[in-house]
Structure 1
Amino acid sequence: MMRAKCFSIVYVAMIFCLPALLSSCNADVAAQGRPARSKPEVSAQTLHRQAVTLTTELAGRTGAQMISEVRPRVSGIILRQSFDEGGLVNAGDVLYELDPMPFEASYRNAEAAVQRAESALPSARARSQRYESLSASSVVSRQDFDEARTQMLQAEADVAAARAALETARIELEYAKVRAPISGRVDASNVTEGALVTEDQASPMTTIRQTDIINVDLVRSSASLLALNKALASQDIKAQEGSVTVELRLEDGSKYGHPGKLQFRNGAVSQTTGMVLMRAVFPNPEGALLPGMYVRALVEDGYVEDGVLIPQRAVSRNGRGEATARFISADGKIEERVLAVERGIGNNWLVTAGVGEGDRVVVEGLQRAAIGEEVQVTAVTVDNETGEFVAVAEAGRPPAGKPAEVSVRLPDAVTR
């Protein structure tokens, strides 16, 4: 009886414990079959110290290096136009031909006046010479000799005046052909054949612009120049040697292919605008730059030694407003650092503290990994212009001893 009772108790206990035992076995089997969690994948860019060229972006207008408004030097009727509007002309080319008949008549009249004056000169000279010898012998009075000499001098002056009038007539006859004073591209003609033009008239007949070299007039605020001078004096920015290089951005945002040079900067600030006028010159062999175009000029201010550029997409702000970024530690884990960001440069930040040579900053996959978590890293670089990723091999990293030179853009405070 007692044995039967014990058996039934054991039986009931087995019934209640068996599901728990089976469940525990299934959990162990499931745990053994479940794969381990893979490392999150992130993309990181290796940072290097480099010489960073600082530029200031200024608004400007292009202008021809030389402009000539063609006006007639004499009055007359236009007989012929000898150039193609909008074409290229060389200095000395005939642009217009005026009616030469009045000037030819004046030239012939001047020639006759020269001949008349020259014909009277020999007798006046001979008379003066005779009176000089007779005066020495007291045959004629001194007064008669003086009158003869005066007549000779007057005859010589008449010859000189006649020759000068002849030269004037020749010049006016030459002015009947209106020539190009400079080489360049000629505008549309403001007059037509048969029109009457007058000497030194107010409105030009046409305009020639020399565009093989283009001037770009820029303006910069006096406050911006003051800040630059302070930075150069404190050695925060080092000045470039030689002439100042200037690059252009055209109206469509494209980069002009030929760099220019800063030609001069005015020595005074405009009292009305608070701006300083600057001028840069650019070669224009293809004629891509036309006078009057609106452009943006990147003027070199200097450079920063051992600068570090971090892509802007990798930087965020914490609750205190500090700039932070996540990096890959030496053991392959995520860590967060506070950065000292000086200014934004294109798609990058110029950082002065919080980073070191060879640090790897996370630029993609921030949401996949937490701080302190071990990650799988893909090496990339971020294009400075487009912000796109470019995969690179570890061997393709630039050596620390050879910093790359990067041009950056600093908008002027006034034009921003």
Structure 2
Amino acid sequence: MSAATLEPTGSPAATARAATGGKAWRLPITLGVLGVLALLLFGLLPAGGRDTTFGLSTSTDFVHLGPVTVPSKATAAVLSVLAILVAAYAGWCVSRARRISRWVPIVFAVLWVLAFLTWAVAGKSTSLVSLLAGSIFLAVPLAFGALGGLIGERAGVVNIAIEGQLLTGAFGAAVFASIVSNAYLGLVAAPVAGLVIGALLALFTVKYHVNQIIVGVVLNVFAVGLTSFLYSSVLKENAATLNSPPRLPTLAIPVLGDIPVIGPVLFRQTLLVYLLYVAIVVVAIALFRTRWGLRVRAVGEYPAAADTVGIDVNRTRWGNVLLGSMVAGLGGAFFTVGSVGAFSQEMTAGKGYIALAAMILGRWSPWGALGAALLFGFSDKLQQVLGVLGTAIPNQFMLMLPYVVTIFAVAGLVGRVRAPAADGEPYVKE
């Protein structure tokens, strides 16, 4: 007989095991419900046509793949059943006290989205390459913002001011790129502009121990007011010289850009996207593979203990807040030199708060934050694609899709996550 069999039902060990099991079942149950809904909605509801066509190549591809046409309802039903089987596998893992592999929710999400796409685009055609490439492009400011936030929060400083850092970064990139007529130099100005908000955040939270949530919200309002005033009083009257920045060109990486499907998606992007690839790798290695990262995480978890071994807690927090603000500011360049080509009032439109949600959904991990940013970027791009195709799905629902995904992902799939223990707590050396 096992030790678990000999335990009384009401023992602390049995109670803890039951509580743990309840939490472990959350993911399989959520996936199962979503899988059944997909089967009922996409497999049984009438679609707009009998067949769905997916494009796999662009006109400039070195290797051209023809479009794939599939029967809409049958394909959606098969994909939904496969998603249910993945959910059943997750349940089997929990029942056997095995850890659910990371690939399980990823495979489920891919199957579910493909089932939805097959049903929603029935009778029409869409390019999967354009959809995926656009998703990565739209995830850029979210990923940079989430990276900037986690760099500060790993050291114990809550960064609600990501929205303000993105906005000032967009403003700085637009103005400087317009003056010098060079989009690449706009990428240099963006983190400097974000640094202004970061310096104010560090000053009030680290030096003067003001509530970090309140300071972040105030700085967001300050950034909106400042940029709106400068836009109305300066940029509008001098738009030709101060608000007409060139846009970053698309750069195709030789050989890699010619790989079918993957090449156009990953390796035919702007320099800002490639900088994101580098930033993710650098931050992941720096935080978890270097002495600097160990000190930062120690400050964010146990600042008093870090202080006793000679780590300057407040200095570390200053440095991380400033660095994170520069990273977030670089993401702000996406809105001007990366996409629109001009600055407008409040053009970030709440993306800083979505980046904050991506950081939480990603469990304060660079790779997790990237995955969450890609999820939100995909939902945003999907809303655009389905709106252009004119599907039967109400436009109002498509507009709120990115935010619904944000709420559902954080509350439903992730559940409770643990922030760094000292996050939001000012440190006063005794």
TM range (shorter): under 0.3
Query: What's the TM-score, normalizing by structure 1?
Result: 0.19
Richer in strand (by share): 1
Compare CA radii of gyration and give the structure with the larger one: 1
Higher normalized contact order (CA 8 Å, seq sep 6+, divided by chain length): 1
Richer in helix (by share): 2
